[in-house]
Amino acid sequence: MNVDDFPVDANALCDICHVFGERGWCRATSGNFSIRVDKSHCIITQSGCDKSRLASDQLMICDLDGRAIHPDQRPSAETPLHTCLYRLDNSIGSVLHTHSVSSTLLSMHSGPQLTINGFEMQKALAGITSHERSAVVPVFDNNQDMRALAEEVTAAWKDGDISVPGFLIAGHGLYAWGKNSTEALRHTEGFEFLFECLWQQTLAKLS
Ligand SMILES: [Zn+2]
């Protein structure tokens, strides 16, 4: 089994990475991106590659414990966060992780959760049908131990504390997901738009 067995998914993921690269959401080899390929595997970006110029041969397959199918390949360091989401919900088909300027800064000024109200763009998020319904985004403390961070996310999920298709890591960035890469892309773009609005509002209050 290799990435070439899934050419459509690989190309979709490369296209998303290129778009995010143009927007400055995955600078300096940051960010990581994945698509589920079956019940127990996903395609994910390899560690250390420039996502803005990602080629399909820089993708790899790992199981949902984060083990590479080909032992000479090294998955992204943050693979445990992708695989924990796939394990938690069989309907998740793609996970996208960005490091935008606005999500990084906003997450450092928002406390353990960020409540978003009043924006039409909230309707980009599955399950939200009105600007009048709050979107509450969990914010986890950053941690270089990705397995520990994945355990925190898993506990929050099981406690029902993750009600939108995404969360922030403070000073780090956004994780968003969807039933497929198209929906995960829409969620990421919606969140990033909302974070940019909120960061500009925060800046105005700080000045
Ligand atoms: Zn990251």
| Residue pLDDT tens, the chain, 207 long | 666 666 567 888 999 999 999 999 999 888 999 999 999 999 999 988 888 899 988 999 999 999 998 888 888 889 999 999 999 999 999 999 999 999 999 999 999 999 999 999 999 999 999 998 999 999 999 999 999 999 999 999 999 999 999 999 999 999 999 999 999 999 999 999 999 999 999 999 888
Single-letter amino acid, residue 152:
E
Q: How far apart are CA 31 and CA 74, in angstroms?
A: 15
Cα 51 to middle of ligand 1, angstroms: 12
Distance, CA 97 to ligand 1 centroid (Å)? Answer: 7
CA 55–ligand 1 middle distance (angstroms): 19
In Å, how far from its chain's centre is CA 181? 11
Question: What is the spatial distance between Cα 165 and Cα 187, in angstroms, rounded to a whole number?
Answer: 7
Q: What is the pTM of this model?
A: 0.95
Q: Give the distance (Å) from ligand 1 centre to CA of residue 75.
A: 13
| Domains of the chain as residue ranges with CATH | 3-206 (3.40.225.10)
Task: Give residue 9 CA to ligand 1 midpoint distance, Å.
Answer: 22
How far apart are the CA of 146 and the centre of ligand 1, in A? 10
Question: What is the secondary structure of 12-57 as a DSSP string?
Answer: HHHHHHHHHHHTTSSGGG--EEEEEEETTEEEEEBTT--GGG--GG
